[in-house]
A = this chain, B = another copy of it.
Amino acid sequence: MTVQIQTEDFDLGAEILNLRRGNTGIGAVASFVGLVRDLNHSTTVTEMTLEHYPGMTEKALAEIVEEAKRRWNIIDALVIHRIGPLKPTDQIVLVAVSSAHRGDAFAACEFIMDYLKTRAPFWKKEQTEAGAHWVDARESDETTAQRWTAPSA
């Protein structure tokens, strides 16, 4: 289980090869890459800056990954999240999960992304032609994350 916060870009192919290395029981790898779009709510984004809370970010992500490990039968998981200035089409985040069977990998990967979006301390500031502004949290992200909570809990 690996969690990395970094300013540098990452290489999806190399990271997945590394995740798979040495485990012949892996039958499935689900992965997700989040990218900077040039258009957000009809505004042209020229640059985006990602701020985070050093220390708490790593702790929050490790807890999310541990929770995924408790809920599904997964072999390994990787989260890489970039910080600092990013441009449109730049990679922001990678979540990858390996497992024996595909259902576990898909569910755990989507769960980690949904929880990361609502529980990991990152904030986006967009630079647009009209100036800079902090991106507002989307209520739909909270709704999406809540579907992983057992209704009877």
Contacts and interface: CB of A to CB of B under 8 A. Distances in A.
Interface of A: 11-14, 16, 20, 24-39, 88-89, 100, 102-103, 105-106, 109-110, 113, 144
A38 B13 contact: no
B35 A32 contact: no
Contacts of A100: 37
Contact of A20 (B28, B35, B102): B35
A-side binding surface: helix, strand, loop or mixed?
A: mixed
Q: How many copies does the complex hold?
A: 2
Contact of A25 (B16, B20, B37): B37
Nearest to A44: B24
Contacts of A20: 35, 89
Contacts of A37: 24-27, 100
A137 to B, nearest CB: 15
B27 A30 contact: no
Contacts of A33: 16, 28-29, 31
A57 to B, nearest CB: 19
Nearest to A138: B101
10 contacts: A16-B33, A24-B88, A24-B89, A25-B38, A26-B37, A27-B36, A28-B32, A29-B33, A34-B102, A37-B100
A31 to B, nearest CB: 5
Contacts of A89: 20, 24, 26
